[in-house]
Structure 1
């Protein structure tokens, strides 16, 4: 056995040890699913504890509840006795969503971040990529490039460095971006036994937290749309619920464009998360609704707005959480009219696609 190696017994980390932090992660997930209902989340947590033994004799559920209050995650109304989550909990939920979704992106291998619109920028980022024509010499990371050459060619006397060995630090432009995120809250987002609204909420919270931390000069407005459309704040996201609504995509797009007209930034974009077709319009005080097939009256109005957004240089990226062929045909037509982009995503891949598209689009100069 080589003398340079030393071996010792492997002791696995006690990641599953019961305690406040491990229970807090589960509790935050349950708060998102229950739309901020503390009592329901605690009931679910107690049921999970009964089935899977999350607590121990040393640290029980009562201890966890006391720690939640002591650490400022919960507040209790003195009059009604109602328990609510605090601002600290709301921020923790956003950070948890960011770690859950964006953390997976950071684990990807080389080349997983497709950024065809990046290039010479103003400030260095943390991403690395292969050298491309036009990159500045100061972007080259010599230590990493030499390591690549050693791995690719060996350490012989004829050691050499090629263009393919060079690794550079990605740069990002300082241009600001204004994004409107549209979230479908029609009834279909919880139909067929599939919870689609919770992943959409998590993506919205994670995107908001990312922008706050990494791109503080960017703006993010959030819109929900059902029979109507209205703006919500990031603070409202944990409490967001699906309603008995149809899908008024037109109202959402009109509100999104109104918000972006007021933004004085060069890069403007709309992200739309939906699982279905537009089925509703508002005509005066009445609603025009048709859930059967693709109603041409509704579709034509939606396509008119897609063309209007294109004239305003506002690309629309549609994240369709559905795989019906006729819905894909509609989305393809909508995307062609707007000259935007469309993704047909599973719930698991939604966060990955939103983050990559956001990073790519904000690097464009208009």
Structure 2
């Protein structure tokens, strides 16, 4: 029974034995998992290959939607875009809802509701309008964001299917941002020993770089900040997809590379310079959102520190569990697992 559960051979599990050994609550949870598995397959989100499940393109897009929902959840007011906000006011985007006119409102008059109010209050001919009869459409603020996606293309990303997982998320996000938020600026930076700007057409063919095997996240942050400076916005975001192992940095125009002292560790000077760059990015008002694809405590500690400095967000996942991520949100200070 333990082997069947650990290997997810759910169809072989003896439910009577499971209930007898572990109780009614565990059986209920197990049935929920089986039902969820079926729903995901029926919905076209995963394909069952017998010994493992694989995300379909639709499943990858859904993960991108969940991630984008959190990244854009708390946006400031800016130029008109397609990201909804909690604030309401006198913007150009109108809803079907209306309310009584208040002095200072933009006069987006709901004529039908205004006339109805006048008839209910006065009636008769000629119809007399009073200030209290006027109804205006509700307006919603929308905002425009400028986002740069940073894709780790270093040698360490070739391990354990990390780059394939990173590329899936990157493709989903690139597609979603461009289809749902066409007014947004969306740039892409690939970083290995140095950082380079990638065009959208380059992303499907992108691969990890064996010729330049180091990880220069500092240079990636620097280049991404330069791209965002050319696209002024109150809502500037970076999405970093990495295994969190910086091994290169630039100082005074010179490139420095160093291997970590231990497997799964970090290079101390590279980490320090990267955190300094994160501080500079933070002072510019840019939020860093990090997808972390390694479970090493040392590497996660580095990402935690970078996220703390920036007060950004960290999404933790393993390459083989792309559909699960732990969101540490330093903006709204919530913690949840999706």
Q: TM-score range, shorter-chain basis? A: 0.5 to 0.7
Deviation larger for 280-289 or 312-321: 280-289
Contact 2:153 2:191 survives alignment (8 Å): yes
Matched, 1:263 2:231: yes
How many residues of Structure 1 are paired with residues of Structure 2 in the alignment?
217
**Which of 60, 63, 69 is the equivalent residue of 1:101?**
60
Residue aligning to 1:315: 287
CA contact (8 A) 1:205 1:234 kept: no
Query: Any conservation in 2 of the 1:332–1:342 contact (CA below 8 Å)?
Result: yes
**Distance of aligned partners of 1:334 and 1:181 in 2 relative to their CA distance in 1, 3 Å threshold:** same
Q: Deviations over 1:207-252 (max 9, x none)?
A: 2221222111011101110001001111111111111211111110
- Secondary structure of the structure 2 residue equivalent to 1:196: helix
1:279 equivalent to 2:247? Answer: yes
Deviation readout 1:174-205 (Å, 9 max, x if unpaired): 211010100101111112xx222122222222
- From 151, 170, 174, give the equivalent of 1:208: 174
Structure-2 separation of matches of 1:267 and 1:198: 29
Distance 1:282 1:309, change over 3 A: closer
Aligned partners of 1:315 and 1:339 also within 8 Å? yes
Decide which structure has greater strand share.
2
User: Is residue 181–residue 271 contact of structure 1 (8 Å, CA) maintained in 2?
Assistant: yes
* One of 248, 271, 274 as aligned partner of 1:299: 271
Q: Give the 3 Å change call, closer, same or farther, for CA 211–114 of structure 1 in structure 2.
A: closer
Q: Deviations over 1:292-329 (max 9, x none)?
A: 23333212211111111111000111111111111111
The yes-or-no answer on 1:324 pairing with 2:290 is: no
Deviations 1:95-132 (A, max 9, x none): x84x332346889xxx999956742456589xxxxxxx
Aligned equivalents of 2:275, 2:65: Cα separation in 1: 37
Q: Pick from 244, 258, 262 the counterpart of residue 289 of structure 1.
A: 258
- Corresponding residue of 1:247: 215
Give the corresponding residue for 1:128: none
Q: 1:264 to 1:277 in 2, by over 3 A?
A: same
Counterparts in 2 of 1:113 and 1:248: CA distance versus 1, 3 Å: closer
Measure the CA separation in 2 of the matches of 1:115 and 1:217: 17
Indicate if the aligned counterparts of 2:63 and 2:323 stay in contact, CA closer than 8 A. no
TM-score (norm 2): 0.55
1:75-114 CA-to-partner distances (Å, cap 9, x unmatched) read: xxxxxxxxxxxxxxxxxxxxx84x332346889xxx9999
TM superposition score normalised by structure 1: 0.51
Q: 1:196 to 1:113 in 2, by over 3 A?
A: closer
Aligned mate of 1:119, from 83, 86, 98? 86
SS in structure 2 opposite 1:315?
Answer: strand
Q: Which runs of 5+ in 2 are unaligned?
A: 1-46, 48-55, 76-84, 96-138, 333-338
Please show how residues 13-92 of structure 1 align to structure 2 within 5 Å.
none
Q: Distance between the aligned counterparts of 2:72 and 2:231, measured in 1?
A: 27
Distance 1:249 1:331 in 2: 11
Query: In the aligned structure 1, how far is the partner of 2:289 from the partner of 2:64?
Result: 20
| Structure 1 unaligned residues grouped into runs of 5+ | 1-25, 27-95, 126-170, 361-366
**Could you tell me how far apart the structure 2 residues matched to 1:187 and 1:289 are?**
14
Q: Is the 8 Å Cα contact of residues 203 and 351 (structure 1) preserved in structure 2?
A: no
- Secondary structure (helix, strand or coil) at the match of 1:183 reads strand
Greater C-alpha radius of gyration: 2
1:228 and 2:194 are equivalent in the alignment: yes
- Cα distance in 2 for partners of 1:311, 1:210 equals 28
